[in-house]
Amino acid sequence: MSGSPVAVPSFGQRLQQTFASAGHLCVGIDPHSYLLTDWGLDNSAAGVREFGLRVVEATAGRAGIVKPQVAFYERHGSAGFAALEDVLREARAAGLLVIADAKRGDLGTSVEAYGQAWLTPGSPLEADAMTVSAFQGVGSLTQPAELAARVGKGLFVLTATSNPESVALQTATITRGELTGASVSAGIVTGVNSWNAAPLGSIGVVIGATVRLSDYGITDEDLAVTPILAPGFGHQGIGFDALHRVYGSAAGNVVVSSSRAILEAGPYGIADQVTVQARELAAVFAA
């Protein structure tokens, strides 16, 4: 007689556990061409594989989250994806929470397949969460969101990104439906939160550290149970001391992403730089 099925911890629960045990720092795995050169690696599938594995090794035990930028692997075709599979597998084996920065988005069975590729347990590309786009509406992400809920995975929906080209579109006003009058970004937050529950949901948003929430019609109260993936720290000039100013009472939900500011330390300095940034960030939360 089989027992009752074991409940799978939600991504929100696992994210909270990671925050408590390893902090909020997320190390980006972004093998830019210039970084590969600086690291003495070839701009090839073998090079990006080695780069990613070195970042994983330097992060494990010093921070709890990594975020591979899929595009830098995808440009090397099938060999690049094979390299990424190795990096994802080693990161998860090291106990790191892995966010695949894939920025996928589509409709129906297509977006369902994207979710299956990145979120299905045992998939070659399995990650703990993935970034997605809601340009076709938050409802278009229902199938990957439901998959994430079933298997303990997460999504981060592009919402208020840190690139200046996004501002006009993301602050535009919705003119139809029940969200009439809200900004596009605020509408995304509302849609995302329909899937979330206290204390922390599994469907998050991407809100850059360079933005002001008020410009997008968003308040920190709107993000009370919402995971936030926050690029823009470090290389874009935003220090960790801005965390509470930007995200207010929702700062405790923030995955603080730092990429080039860490990676530019090089293969022999990256571990120390991860340690330094993790300690600096911990001090901000302890203040």
Nearest to 268 by CA among 113, 86, 38, 109: 38
**CA gap 117, 38 in Å, rounded:** 32
Out of 92, 103, 235, 260, which one is annotated catalytic? 103
Nearest to 255 by CA among 221, 223, 227, 218: 227
Q: Which H helix or E strand runs over 159?
A: strand 154-160
**CA gap 95, 242 in Å, rounded:** 29
Residue type, 178: E
- Polymer length in residues for the chain: 287
Measure the CA angle with vertex 110, ends 190 and 229; round to 5°. 40
103 is catalytic: yes
Contacts of 37 (CB under 8 A, 6+ apart): 43
Contacts of 138 (CB under 8 A, 6+ apart): 157, 187, 188, 191, 192, 194
Do the beta carbons of residue 209 and residue 232 sit within 8 Å?
Answer: yes
| Strands 129-132 and 203-207, bridge-based pairing | unpaired
Q: Which residues are catalytic?
A: 103
